[in-house]
Structure 1
Amino acid sequence: MPTVAITEFTDPGCPFAFSAEPHRLRLRWLFGDQLEFSERMVGLADTRQDYLDKGFTPEKAAKGAESLAAKFGMPMSEEPKPAVAATVTACRAVVAARQHATEKQWPLLRRLRHLHFAGPLLDDPQTIRDAASFVGLDPDELEAWMGEEATERALREDMLMARDPTPAALALKDKLASTPENGWRYTCPSYEFRTADGAAFSAPGMQSSLAYETALANVAPGLERRAEPEDVTEVLAWAGFPVATQEVAEVCGISHDEAHEKLEAAGAVAEPVGRDAFWTLAA
């Protein structure tokens, strides 16, 4: 069975990457283990001051969350926070998990996103500890891993990779971001698709599910495609973490409103965030 390696350039604090989670979840449902995801951290902000220097205030962040939630349907707190959180510390936590407990890397990244966009500050040590506990990592152990030189080297390697886009990605500069060094970096999320026989496809910046499925059809037309779920509860049972209404809608190929109605009718448990919710199966 063919497999496709997908390098995802992302950041736990990026609202666009969070808004694109429905597309990633749909790919995972449709193609399962035929896709091998590898997450690389972009590192959007080392410190809170980095954002302030760009004029990005808590009020602007809240306005941005309001706009993105309305446009893309993912649940985000729309209240101004005490600060605009730096992201590199959370990136370091994700890399530390990759170094020592690879199977926990993506669950930790997902939980950090969930918490951050629900309200807590991403760079608060307690947020990282809470995320670690939720995914079954020992918070003290994760903190120790984060302090290792090997973790820091791996994080900085990720950030360098994120600032070295492929020639194909560079042809789509409107999907990239400029750097202070007059270079370019991937925006979040950016996908690089590769197969064992050398086929490759660059998809920089946020794309639609259809764009990703088209990329896969080009690099690996032999992939087996799973049918969409027949019931919304299938998505909740399969995912293994709280799932947003829009994610259920995207995986099932139905509208946001229809997904919401079906989740309520199925007795799923809602965790309200902003104008929407995350859902889990009733115990």
Structure 2
Amino acid sequence: MTPAEARGTYRPALDITEYTDPVCPWAWGSEPVFRLLRLRLGRQLGDAVRWRRVFGILFDDDEDPAPDPDAEARWYERFTHDVGSHTGAPYAPRLHRVARSSWPASLAAKAAQAQGPEVAERVLRRLRETMFVLGRPADTPEGILAAVRGVPGLDVHRLREDAAAPATRDAVRADWAETRRPLPEVVDLEAPGPHPGRAKEAGDHRRYALPTLLLDGPGGRVCVPGWRPLETYLEAARTAAGTAAQAPPVRLPAREALERWRTLTGPEVALLTRESAPPADAVRVDTGHGPLWLHPAESALAADETAGRQGLVQ
């Protein structure tokens, strides 16, 4: 937190709110574009852009259990494969089960934010990978701790305590409520595409489709729901920021990208790196839909028989 934030006087030129969930396949498929968007806006605006994540709780605690869990898993497996066909994202060859609840992973992802943005990014990424690479979503405190083992800079003991703290649950409960107050323009939205972002029915409420970005700035508020190309987000950022300036194109050397993000999907390699190819020492993991590339240190963790990501590298 900067001194201005602590005083309550910080006003970013661009304030971005991302409505998401660790086990949402559309959010997983949007990661390459969102990574590049954060990178480009960071180069353009620096500290004048703030990105806030709101965990919308795709699978709630009060939902009735499926009468046939295996049939539910096969249905949701087909759904994630269909989403992956649109986004290009990897998916697990077999989904062993549907997440029992989004709450444990959302609590952990929220708690990780107290340890800094890089740690928070890596924790959330690990949680997503349990679902979409391993097919075994981390939806218990024990499973989450196993999944995040070895995240650089992460204090696991602190994460465990913070995730269980009442203040963290209150924060995620506030996220749940905020997600269920969608802007009028998305409630009855009619738009083309496989995931246009119309608000979803969620029990007695409607919630934002996941992911949805709200961009606020001097130029006003712009809502970008659903699955959209990078250019749509960049145009929304220009509008909200009240500027005609284009965020500078940027791609990182493949080595720098892997050091920064630790794992890269095929679409991320193509979109984020200058070489459009992984570094020579990146470890390839084949999924049901293209490769995932691991940093060598991530590979070593995955190969450790006691690691939470056991089975990622055979």
* TM-score computed with the length of structure 2 as normaliser: 0.76
Q: Contact 1:40–1:158 at 8 Å: present in 2 too?
A: yes
**Which residue number corresponds to residue 279 of structure 1?**
293
Residue 312 (structure 2) aligns with: none
Provide the residue aligned with 2:154 in structure 1: 137
The answer to whether the aligner puts 1:186 opposite 2:190 as a matched pair is no
Assess, with a 3 A threshold, how the Cα gap between structure 1 residues 271 and 7 changes in structure 2: closer, same or farther: same
1:74 and 2:96 correspond? no
Amino acid at match of 1:166: L
* Cα offsets for 1:6-53 (capped at 9, x unmatched): 100000010110011111012022222353210010011134954627
User: Structure 2: how far apart are the matches of 1:145 and 1:191?
Assistant: 26
Q: Does 1:229 align with 2:251?
A: yes
Structure 1 stretches of 5 or more lacking a match? Answer: none
Q: Which runs of 5+ in 2 are unaligned?
A: 1-11, 191-196, 298-314
Q: Distance in 2 between matches of 1:156 and 1:171?
A: 25
Q: Could you tell me which residue of structure 2 aligns to residue 24 of structure 1?
A: 34
Match of 2:58 in 1: 44
Q: Deviations over 1:162-201 (max 9, x none)?
A: 00012333352752101221x3211111100012x36211
Answer yes or no: is 1:111 the counterpart of 2:126. Answer: yes
| 1:119-268 → structure 2 map (5 Å cutoff) | 119=134, 120-135=136-151, 136-170=153-187, 172=189, 175-181=198-204, 183-195=205-217, 197=218, 199-220=220-241, 221=243, 223=245, 225-229=247-251, 231-237=253-259, 239-251=260-272, 259=276, 262-263=277-278, 266=280, 268=282
Partner AA of 1:147 in structure 2: A
Asked whether the 8 Å contact 2:234–2:247 carries over to 1, the reply is no
Q: 1:11 and 2:48 equivalent? A: no
**Quick one: structure 1 residues 101 and 52, their matched pair in 2 at CA, closer, same or farther if it must change by over 3 Å?**
same
Number of residue pairs aligned between Structure 1 and Structure 2: 272
Instruction: Give me the whole-angstrom Cα distance separating, in 2, the residues matched to 1:247 and 1:48.
Output: 35
Structure 2 residue 72 is the aligned partner of structure 1 residue 57:
yes
**Percent identity over the alignment?**
25
Question: Counterpart of 2:303?
Answer: none
Instruction: Provide closer, same or farther for how the CA distance between residues 160 and 49 of structure 1 changes in structure 2, counting only shifts above 3 A.
Output: closer
Deviation at 1:84, TM superposition (A): 3.9
| d(CA) in 2 for partners of 1:80, 1:166 | 34
Structure 1 residue 216 displacement after superposition: 1.1
Q: Which amino acid aligns with 1:45?
A: F
Deviations 1:105-143 (A, max 9, x none): 332212211222112322143431134333332333322
Distance 2:52 2:231 in 1: 21
Q: Is the 2:138–2:147 contact (alpha carbons within 8 Å) kept by the matching residues of 1? A: no
3-state SS of the aligned residue for 1:52?
A: coil
In the alignment, is the contact (CA less than 8 A) between 1:30 and 1:225 conserved in 2? Answer: yes
Equivalent in the alignment of 2:308 = none
* Cα distance in structure 1, aligned partners of 2:68 and 2:227: 22
Q: CA deviation at 1:150?
A: 1.0
Q: Give the corresponding residue for 2:5.
A: none
Q: Whose helix fraction is larger, Structure 1's or Structure 2's?
A: 1
Contact in 1 for aligned 2:23/2:137 (Cα 8 Å)? no
Q: Which amino acid is 2:22 matched to?
A: P
Contact kept, 8 Å, 1:133 with 1:139, in 2: the verdict is yes
Larger relative CO (CA 8 A, sep 6+): 1 or 2?
Answer: 1
- Is the partner of 1:248 in helix, strand or coil? helix
Q: 1:83 to 1:203 in 2, by over 3 A?
A: closer
Find the residue that maps to 2:286 and give its secondary structure.
strand
The answer (yes or no) to whether the contact 2:122–2:261 under 8 Å persists in 1 is: no
Question: Partner amino acid for 1:75?
Answer: P
Checking the alignment, whether the CA contact within 8 Å between 2:219 and 2:239 is kept in structure 1 is no
- Alignment root-mean-square deviation, CA: 2.9
CA contact (8 A) 1:48 1:85 kept: no
Decide whether aligned partners of structure 1 residues 50 and 141 sit closer, same or farther in structure 2, where only a CA change above 3 A counts: farther
